[in-house]
Amino acid sequence: MPPPAFSPGGFISGPGPDVSVKAAPGQFLDGIPAKMPPPQFEVVPGGVIGMKMPPVGPPSLAPPMMSTSLPDLPAFMGLAPPVGPPPAILRPPELPPPAGLLAAVDAAVERAGAPPSGPVEKVEWQAHQTGEGLPYYFCKKTGESRWVRPCGPGDVIVDPKKEEPKDTSVKGKLGEPESWESIGKTGWTRVQTDKGYTYFYHKKQKKTSWTCPPEIAKEVAELDGSLGAVEGEAESKEEKGDEEGKEGAEGTGDAQGEPAGGEEDGAKKQTKAEKAEKRAQQVEEEQKAAKEKDKLRNFKQLLVEKGVRAFDKYEKWVPKLMHDPRFTAVTGLKERRLLFEMLAKRIETEKRKTQAVCKNRGREAFKELLDKAEKLDLLAGRTVEKALASMERRFGDEAQWDAVPERDRERMVAEAVAETTKRAEKQKEGARANFRTLVLDILKGQEEDPPPFSKARRRLETDPSWTQLASTERENLYNRLARELKDAKRKQTAKRREVQQELEEARKKRKLSEAEEKIFSVFSEKMKNPYSLTWEEAKPEVEALQLQKGFGLKDDELEQLWLDYQRRAIEARREAWLRILESAGFDVIGPELEFEEVVQRAFSTDTDVATQKAFEGMPEEVLKEAWTQWREQAYDLAVEDCQKWLRTCQHLRGCEDVEPTGGDDFDRLMRRLAAKDVRFRRLNGRPEHQTRLLAGRLRELRSLRGQKKDGTGEDEDEFM
């Protein structure tokens, strides 16, 4: 739209429609090029062409209506009375630009280009748009609006901040409780939220009131008067009256029409002096509030330094505090008393909270020491006294050691020792179970003749459970499992043999007739020593019995009956011989004796004559084979007895330095032990067992002595 036309005498005025007029591009308007943003003009309903001002606030406020106030214009522009309606399109006359306007523009350009005389203050301008899409700029600090983009040295253009969505719920409007103030002993509490709302709440009766209840009005008035927490009601009523007066004025202005509204907007605008005065009052109020806070802070610090407790009497402390300026800074007597009682309780509460936090921190710090002690193996398998002594030697100089009292320290160490010992025992049980499974897997298929521990050791060392068990425990567990498997295999074989014998006997019983049983009976009566006789040697005596004619037997059948009878008799005597050896005991017949000595002791003069006659003619190889079988079992039992004796033997005291791998001292110790106890002499026939058992015990004693020096092992007396 072309710019409005001007006359030398002033504005063209008159009634006309509400039409905005702008300068055409590339034309001059009073000497100002159109490419520079010129002031925008509009035709108001009164017929006056005036300058259109930008909105005076951010877009959250409704853009102001068209103002009838005229801007400061050059002197040649005056306001003329209306002379008629203006044309729809106005064009400026082709006249030279006035000299006054050009001079004003030159001066403004010179001032804009001049460097600032002092430090430049940063001014933020927010960029907005009107409802018609026209851009304008608003300064929140000064409340000024411009159509032209500010380009001063301190002007900064920023985007307006988007408002966050408001919480429309009741709780969101009121906010969360921020402070609670007890009103004496009435049970009422004054609650203030973070949104600035204040209400009264009764704890026992569960009542809530926005206004002060009448029964506590006096206490609230005294409390407010002493602490200066809220403003008087008169000031609130006065402000409320002023707001009502303003609302009435606005309603009257709307009724009178547009011109009146424009005048009211102009009256509402504050001058810079009014803004400065308001800012000074605000700073003064902030300084006053800061001084009040300092008074309260100093008063509280004074009570903390003097050691005031929660229920101390105010009268008792007044003589001690009255000479301190921090106490006299609070002038009101009632204010001092109320402040003393309130802060004394608060100080005690804060003190308890601080002590609880320090106590928890001390426990956490000492728990770190317990974790370190557990990693260093200072807790598992020990008494509380030894664990405390070990930890004090290791961590006594650290600050974490004194972080808890002595009683709590002992209790926490006792709990840690019990828990660690229980966990270690559980781990050891798991290691034993894993080691047992590994040993059973290795001995599978070798139950009758299991390999010694020294040969199976290489395969056992690769398992993780090897390092979790002591050397003696590993060897004992292996030997016990090997012996159990061997005994189980022997019993299984004997059971199988017994079953086979029963089956054979049953089969023979089914085959043998009454005649055959009678023949066996005749053999037992007539042939007293059938053990070493061959059939050729026994045949004449058998034929003399005339059994063939009586029972109708053939020669081969008679020979088979004789051999069966001989085998049964030898097996019966063999079992009887084993029972004699087992029942004699190690004191009479030990595994260290040779076969001839064993036979001599078994059939000595103390043995009855019937037993001696029963074994006359018994083949020696049968008795020797049975004795060899018994001797293997006896040696296993003798090894267990010797190992138990070595663990309680008093002759090994002071022998920890003897080299377990061999030597003169080791040989002398072997001879001395053999001379001292028969349990060691029983293994004379197996010197390798003697050497292995004694060397293992010497290593164990040397390890126990090393642990005793470090203070980490138990007393040696517990193993002797």
* Over residues 455-478, mean pLDDT: 81
Domain membership of residue 147 as a residue range: 1-163
* Over residues 560-588, mean pLDDT: 78
Between residues 634 and 239, the one the model is more confident about: 634
Q: Would you say residue 1 has pLDDT above 50?
A: no
pLDDT band at 474 (very low <50, low <70, confident <90, very high): confident
Between residues 255 and 199, the one the model is more confident about: 199
Give the range with max mean pLDDT: 51-55, 88-92, 204-208. Answer: 204-208
pLDDT band at 522 (very low <50, low <70, confident <90, very high): low
Please give the Cα distance from 291 to 297 (Å, whole number): 10
Q: Quick one: pLDDT at residue 719?
A: 42
135-138 and 177-182 strand pairing: unpaired
Q: Quick one: pLDDT at residue 17?
A: 41
Q: Quick one: pLDDT at residue 116?
A: 54
When mean pLDDT is compared across 264-278, 333-347, 453-467, the lowest value belongs to 264-278
Domain-embedded: residue 521 = no
pLDDT in tens, 401-438: 777 778 888 888 888 888 888 887 887 888 888 888 88
Domain-embedded: residue 10 = yes
Between residues 427 and 253, the one the model is more confident about: 427
* pTM listed for this prediction: 0.27
* Over residues 638-644, mean pLDDT: 83
Q: Quick one: pLDDT at residue 609?
A: 66
Between residues 359 and 29, the one the model is more confident about: 359
Asked whether the beta carbons of 586 and 638 are under 8 A apart, the reply is yes
Q: Quick one: pLDDT at residue 247?
A: 46
Mean pLDDT of the chain: 71
Token pair in block for residue 708: 């005793």
Q: Would you say residue 69 has pLDDT above 60?
A: no
Q: Quick one: pLDDT at residue 88?
A: 45
Q: Which residues pair with 273 in a beta bridge?
A: none
Give the range with max mean pLDDT: 86-95, 555-564, 589-598. Answer: 589-598
> Which alpha helices (H) appear in 311-332, and where do they start and end?
314-321, 325-328
Number of domains in the chain: 1
Q: Quick one: pLDDT at residue 483?
A: 85
Asked whether the beta carbons of 18 and 43 are under 8 A apart, the reply is yes
Domain-embedded: residue 2 = yes
Kindly report the backbone phi and psi dihedral angles of residue 201, in degrees, each rounded to the nearest multiple of 5, phi listed first: -140, 135
When mean pLDDT is compared across 51-55, 431-435, 597-601, 647-651, the lowest value belongs to 51-55
Please give the Cα distance from 683 to 192 (Å, whole number): 94
When mean pLDDT is compared across 296-310, 379-393, 410-424, 611-625, the lowest value belongs to 611-625
pLDDT in tens, 657-679: 888 787 888 888 888 887 888 78
pLDDT band at 237 (very low <50, low <70, confident <90, very high): very low
Domain-embedded: residue 392 = no
Domain-embedded: residue 37 = yes
pLDDT band at 549 (very low <50, low <70, confident <90, very high): low
Residues in the chain: 720
Domain-embedded: residue 663 = no
User: Exposed, middle or buried: residue 161 (CB in 10 Å: 0-12, 13-18, 19+)?
Assistant: exposed
Q: Would you say residue 642 has pLDDT above 80?
A: yes
Asked whether the beta carbons of 705 and 635 are under 8 A apart, the reply is no
Domain-embedded: residue 250 = no
Domain-embedded: residue 701 = no
pLDDT in tens, 682-699: 787 778 888 888 888 888
3-state secondary structure of 202: strand
Q: Residue 612, Cα to own-chain centre: how many angstroms? A: 81
